[in-house]
């Protein structure tokens, strides 16, 4: 049975392809808001993980956040958090706390039918209807803060999606206008970590085939080490290899994440730190520039003169995700926007480091 806490609590969930984060907030004296607990679970991309896994991870992240709440914020007769696993007792599949409001930002939730299908089990669990949107909409807080009425929100992590938004004059909330990307790793994810990995693998293998790959270069050695091979001839087989017993969706996700995580190696050698013991790699840099241009193209297609395009002069660019947080990559995306597509955002660009945290605070301030 769900219980009412001694203070109003607010919940925001950010469900990505790699992880799901739940953040609980409350109001504080003076008109502010603070984060009081958070919980993590595995990825909950609706399109890739499917409804059952998606809902399970959202519940698990919520229960872990509730378990981390300070004792003074728990109801007096508080039951221990339930597992997200199915139970023969229907009452066990209910969130143990009644939240004042809930905002769910979810990758792969891109259309009204997605929201309807997802809303049913979540409403049953939370005993209130959560506000469900694509995870890109969690990045709207900087636009509201600076007074930009329109903008483009970009998630660049394991996958990628770009959403143009405008402020609803009645509610004051940012609503989606149009979208580019968000098609998953089979059809899209331009400029994402997966794109880094896929593009670098192709460039690496093509350079090897045409005899231009310097196998002794620091990047070559680091890239082969990441994949666990000693020779380029072993690389392709390793990319398609799966651990014994791993099949179906689990195997597909393993391969996707393995490719995406190689982005760390690529970016480190494309834009090395000043104290790095190796020079920048031309091959790695060409990969990063190519991916930056792909992402810049998707952003530009949400602006004038394209259909439903916004005016960049009166808009802001909001970024979220671990990849676009990297200064070297972010700079290349902005440079490509300007030089390749003539785009400069009038309200500038800002990266949102904690989308779920910002979202939870927004809920508390509005509540």
Domain coordinates of the chain in residue numbers? 10-138+353-366, 148-346
Structure-block tokens of residue 100? 């004042």
Q: What does the pLDDT read at residue 1?
A: 54
- Smallest CA-to-CA distance from 11 within 47, 38, 50, 33 is with 38
Q: What does the pLDDT read at residue 77?
A: 58
Q: What does the pLDDT read at residue 271?
A: 93
Alpha helices in the chain (DSSP H): 46-49, 51-67, 112-126, 141-146, 184-187, 193-209, 218-227, 235-240, 248-261, 263-270, 282-300, 327-341, 355-366
Q: What does the pLDDT read at residue 323?
A: 92
Q: What does the pLDDT read at residue 186?
A: 85
Q: How many helices (H) and strands (E) does the chain have?
A: 13, 10
Q: What does the pLDDT read at residue 332?
A: 96
Q: What's the pLDDT tens digit per position in 6-28?
A: 789 999 999 987 789 999 999 98
Instruction: Going from the first residue of the chain to its last (367 residues), give the mean pLDDT of each consecutive group of 10, the final group possibly shorter.
Output: 75 89 91 92 85 92 93 72 43 80 88 89 94 88 86 91 92 87 85 95 93 89 95 92 82 90 95 92 95 97 94 95 92 97 95 91 86
Q: CATH for 148-346, among 3.20.20.100, 3.40.50.261, 3.30.70.260, 3.30.420.40?
A: 3.30.420.40
Cis amide bond preceding 87, omega within 30: no
- Smallest CA-to-CA distance from 299 within 317, 325, 314 is with 317
Instruction: Compute the distance between CA of residue 42 and CA of residue 261 in angstroms, rounded to an integer.
Output: 15
Q: What does the pLDDT read at residue 85?
A: 45
Q: Do domains 10-138+353-366 and 148-346 have the same CATH topology?
A: yes
Q: What's the pLDDT tens digit per position in 86-144?
A: 433 333 488 988 999 999 998 888 788 888 999 999 999 999 999 998 888 889 888 88
Count Cβ atoms below 10 Å from residue 250 Cβ, excluding itself.
11
pTM over 0.85: no
Q: What does the pLDDT read at residue 24?
A: 96
Burial class (CB in 10 A: 0-12, 13-18, 19+), 341: middle
Q: CATH for 10-138+353-366, among 3.40.50.720, 3.40.50.2300, 3.30.420.40, 3.30.70.2740?
A: 3.30.420.40
User: How many alpha carbons fall within 13 Å on the CB side of residue 101?
Assistant: 14
User: How many alpha carbons fall within 13 Å on the CB side of residue 119?
Assistant: 13
């Amino acid at each position: 049975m769900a219980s009412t806490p001694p203070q109003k609590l607010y919940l925001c969930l950010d469900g990505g392809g790699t992880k799901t984060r739940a953040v609980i907030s409350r109001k504080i004296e003076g008109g502010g808001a603070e984060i009081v607990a958070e919980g993590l679970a595995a990825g909950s991309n609706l399109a890739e993980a499917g409804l059952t896994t998606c809902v399970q991870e959202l519940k698990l992240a919520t229960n872990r956040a509730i378990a981390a709440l300070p004792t003074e914020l728990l109801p007096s007769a508080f039951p221990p958090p339930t597992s997200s696993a199915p139970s023969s007792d229907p009452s066990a599949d209910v969130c143990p706390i009644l939240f004042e409001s809930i905002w769910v930002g979810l990758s792969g939730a891109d259309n009204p039918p997605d929201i309807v299908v997802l809303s049913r089990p979540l409403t049953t669990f939370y005993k209130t209807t959560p506000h469900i949107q694509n995870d890109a909409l969690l990045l709207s807080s900087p636009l509201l803060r600076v007074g930009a009425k329109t903008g483009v929100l970009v998630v660049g992590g394991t996958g990628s999606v770009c959403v143009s938004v405008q402020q609803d004059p009645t509610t004051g909330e940012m609503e989606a206008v149009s979208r580019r990307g968000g098609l998953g790793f089979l059809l899209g994810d331009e400029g994402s970590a997966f794109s880094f990995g896929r593009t670098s693998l192709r460039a690496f293998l093509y350079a090897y085939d045409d005899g231009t790959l310097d196998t002794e270069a620091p990047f070559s050695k680091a890239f082969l080490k990441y994949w666990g091979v000693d020779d380029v001839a072993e690389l392709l087989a390793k990319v398609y290899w799966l651990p014994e017993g791993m099949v179906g969706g689990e195997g597909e996700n393993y391969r996707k994440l393995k490719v995406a995580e190689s982005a760390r190696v690529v970016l480190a050698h494309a834009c090395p730190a000043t104290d790095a013991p190796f020079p920048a790699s031309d091959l790695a840099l060409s990969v990063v520039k190519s991916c930056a241009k792909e992402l810049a193209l998707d952003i530009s297609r949400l602006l004038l003169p394209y259909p439903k395009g916004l005016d960049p002069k009166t808009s802001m660019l909001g970024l979220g995700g671990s990849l676009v947080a990297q200064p070297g990559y972010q700079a290349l995306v902005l440079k490509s926007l300007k030089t390749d597509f003539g785009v400069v955002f009038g309200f500038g660009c800002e990266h949102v480091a904690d989308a779920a945290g910002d979202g939870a605070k927004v809920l508390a301030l509005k509540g």
